[in-house]
Amino acid sequence: MLIASGLLALLVGAAFAVLLSSVADLRALERRARQSEEVLEVANVLERQVVDLETAQRGFVITREESFLEPWRRARAAFPADAAALERLIGNDPTQQARARRIVELTRSYLRDYSLPLIASVRRDPAAATPAATDQGRQRMDGIRAEFTSLLATERDTAAARERRSDAAAARAIVAAAVGLGGSIVLIVVFAGYLTRAIVQPVRRTAAMADRLAAGNLGVRTAERDVGEIGVLERSFNSMAGSLELSREELAASRARIVAAADQARRRIERDLHDGTQQRLVSLVLDLRAAEAAVPPERPELRAQVGRVADGLTGALEELRELSRGIHPAILSEGGLAPALKALARRSPVPVELTVDVEARLPEPVEVAAYFVVSEALANTAKHAQASVAEVAARARDGLLHLSVNDDGVGGAAPGGGSGLVGLADRVEALGGTIKVHSPAGRGTRLQIDLPIQGQPSGSGG
C-alpha cells in the first residue's frame, strides 16, 4: 500500500504540472462558451416574445376578444429588459451588436407603427383589419425573423468554433498527461477493483437487503458467497431476516386467532342472550300481561302495579336487545353484510347515505370486520365530528372489499386520540387489510379500508 501510494502521488504530481498549463486556456474558453449559451438563450426568449406579439395580435384581430391580447401585453412589457440584456451580452462583438440593435428597432417600429395602431383601429372599427394591413404586418415580422435567424446562426457558429478550440485544448492536455495518468489509472483501477469486489459490493448488497427488510419485505435474502467478515455479515443478516419473517408470520396468525376468538365469543354471548335471557324475559312479560288482564276490575291499583312491572320489564328487554346487537348483531349472521349495514344506517343519529355493491355473501371474518369498522366509524362521527351527513360505501372488486366512510364534520381525527382508530386498524390488519385516514381540520374525515376476500375462512355464521 505504501509503495503504491508513493508511485501514485509521483505520477499524479507530474500529471498536474503538465495539466496546469492548459487549465487557463480551458477556463477562458469555458467563460466564452457560457456567454454564447446565454446569448442564445436570451435571443430565443426575445424571438418567442416577438412570435407572441404576432400571434396574440392576430388572434385579437380575428376574434375581437381582449383575452387574446394578454400574451401580447406580457411580451411587450418584457421585451425592453430582455433586449437590453442581449445587447449587454454581445457588447464585445460589433457585428452581433448591430444585429441586436436592428432587431430592437424593428420590433419597436412594429409595435409603434403597426401593432398599436392596428389594435386601436380594430377596437374602433372591426373592418379595419384589411388584407393590406395584414400583409404589411407579415412583411415587418418576416424582417424581424430574418434578423433573428442571422443573429442566432452567427452565434451558433461562434459557439461551435469556441467548442472546437476547447476540444483541441482538452485533447492537447489529455495527450500531454497520458503517460502520467496512465500509471495512476492502472494503480487506481486495480486497487479500486479489489476493494469493490471484496468489500463494497457485498456491503451494498447487504445494505440493500437491510433497506428492503426495513420496508417490510422480510422474505428477502442475500447470497452467501463471500468469505471472512463479509461472509459472517451476510449469514447473520439472512439469519436475522428468517427470524423476523417467522416472528411476523406467528404474530399475524396470533392476531387473526385473537380477532376470530373474540368474534366467536361475541357471537356465543349474543346467542346465549337471545336464546336464554331474552326468551325468558319475553315469557315473563307475557305472563305479567296475562296477570294484568286477569286482575279483577275492583283492584285497579293492583292492575296498575302489574302493568308498571310489565312495562319496566319490557324496557329492560329492549335494552338487552340493544346490548345484544352491539355484541354481535344477529342480522349480520342471518342476512349478511348489506342488511347489517342498512340497520346501522337506520340507527345512526347522523343521516347516512349508504351504497352497497356486494352481490354474494363474503367470508365471515370479512363481514364481521367490515360491520364493526363501519359501526365504530359512525359512532365516532356521531360523537366527535359534528357532521350533518355521513356517506358509507361498500364494494367488492378484484378480490377485495373496499369500504369508505366519509363525513362533512370538523375533521382532525388521528389514531391514538381516543377515537377508536387504533382498534379499527388492529382488526383490519389482522385480516391482512389496510386502513387509511384522511382528516384535515375543518374538512371532514374520510376512512378508506381494503379487506382481502380470498384467503379468509369461509362461512357466513348463523
In-domain check, residue 178: yes
pLDDT for 394? 93
Q: Judge if 159 and 194 occupy the same domain.
A: yes
Q: Judge if 179 and 295 occupy the same domain.
A: no
Q: Judge if 152 and 260 occupy the same domain.
A: no
Looking at per-residue pLDDT, the higher value among 218 and 112 belongs to 112
Q: Judge if 142 and 14 occupy the same domain.
A: yes
Average the pLDDT over 119-140 and give the result: 72
Average the pLDDT over 430-440 and give the result: 87
Q: Judge if 265 and 401 occupy the same domain.
A: no
Separation between Cα atoms, residue 83 and residue 101, nearest integer Å: 9
Report the candidate in 417, 12, 421, 363 with the shortest Cα–Cα distance to residue 177: 12
Average the pLDDT over 128-147 and give the result: 74
CA 22, 24, 25, 29 torsion: positive or negative? Answer: positive
In-domain check, residue 176: yes
In-domain check, residue 386: yes
With cut-offs at 50, 70 and 90, classify the pLDDT of residue 460. very low
Average the pLDDT over 272-291 and give the result: 72
pLDDT for 142? 80
Question: Where is mean pLDDT largest: 26-40, 56-70, 207-221?
Answer: 56-70
Average the pLDDT over 432-455 and give the result: 87
Query: What single-letter amino acid sits at 339?
Result: P
Q: Judge if 92 and 167 occupy the same domain.
A: yes
With cut-offs at 50, 70 and 90, classify the pLDDT of residue 391. very high
Q: Judge if 314 and 344 occupy the same domain.
A: no
In-domain check, residue 235: no
Q: What are phi and psi of 64, to 5 degrees?
A: 60, 20
Mean pLDDT of the chain: 76
Using only the alpha carbons of the chain, give its radius of gyration. 42
CA–CA–CA angle 104, 107, 113 (5° rounding): 130
- Per the document, the length of the chain is 462
Q: Which of 68-72, 141-145, 340-344, 411-415 has the lowest mean pLDDT?
A: 411-415
Does the pLDDT at position 321 exceed 60? yes
Q: Which residue has the cell 349478511?
A: 336
* Beta pairing class for 400-407 and 434-438: unpaired
Cell of 175: 495527450
Q: Judge if 387 and 289 occupy the same domain.
A: no
pLDDT for 462? 38
Q: Judge if 272 and 189 occupy the same domain.
A: no
Q: What is the pTM of this model?
A: 0.42
Average the pLDDT over 155-184 and give the result: 74
Report the candidate in 367, 297, 373, 375 with the shortest Cα–Cα distance to residue 338: 367
Each residue's pLDDT tens digit, 33-69 = 677 777 778 878 888 888 888 788 778 777 778 888 8
Q: What are phi and psi of 358, to 5 degrees?
A: -130, 105
Q: Which of 53-62, 261-270, 292-301 has the lowest mean pLDDT?
A: 261-270
* Beta pairing class for 400-407 and 390-397: antiparallel
**How far from 327 is each of 244, 254, 257, 332, 418, CA to CA, in Å?**
35, 22, 18, 11, 20
Average the pLDDT over 141-169 and give the result: 79
pLDDT for 140? 79
Does the pLDDT at position 438 exceed 80? yes
362 and 396 Cβ atoms separated by less than 8 Å:
yes
Looking at per-residue pLDDT, the higher value among 57 and 401 belongs to 401
pLDDT for 459? 47
Separation between Cα atoms, residue 242 and residue 219, nearest integer Å: 7
Q: Judge if 138 and 282 occupy the same domain.
A: no
pLDDT for 334? 79
Q: For the chain, give the percent of residues with pLDDT over 90.
A: 6
Q: What are phi and psi of 200, to 5 degrees?
A: -65, -50
pLDDT for 405? 92
Does the pLDDT at position 393 exceed 90? yes
Each residue's pLDDT tens digit, 166-180 = 777 777 777 766 766
Of 291, 310, 328, the residue at which a domain comes to its end is: 328
With cut-offs at 50, 70 and 90, classify the pLDDT of residue 267. low
In-domain check, residue 237: no
Chain Cα centroid distance, residue 422: 23
Does the pLDDT at position 210 exceed 80? no
Q: For the chain, give the percent of residues with pLDDT over 70.
A: 75
With cut-offs at 50, 70 and 90, classify the pLDDT of residue 268. low
Domains held by the chain: number: 3
Query: What single-letter amino acid sits at 417?
Result: G
pLDDT for 73? 84
SS3 48: helix
Does the pLDDT at position 29 exceed 50? yes
Q: Judge if 104 and 190 occupy the same domain.
A: yes
pLDDT for 461? 43
Q: Judge if 372 and 290 occupy the same domain.
A: no
Report the candidate in 40, 38, 35, 23 with the shortest Cα–Cα distance to residue 166: 23
Does the pLDDT at position 351 exceed 90? yes
In-domain check, residue 232: no
Separation between Cα atoms, residue 22 and residue 27, nearest integer Å: 9
Looking at per-residue pLDDT, the higher value among 166 and 77 belongs to 77
pLDDT for 304? 82
pLDDT for 165? 77
Q: Which domain holds residue 400?
A: 335-452
Separation between Cα atoms, residue 411 and residue 439, nearest integer Å: 5
Of 267, 296, 328, the residue at which a domain comes to its end is: 328
Does the pLDDT at position 249 exceed 70? no
In-domain check, residue 208: no
Does the pLDDT at position 112 exceed 70? yes
In-domain check, residue 203: no
CATH of the domain at 422: 3.30.565.10
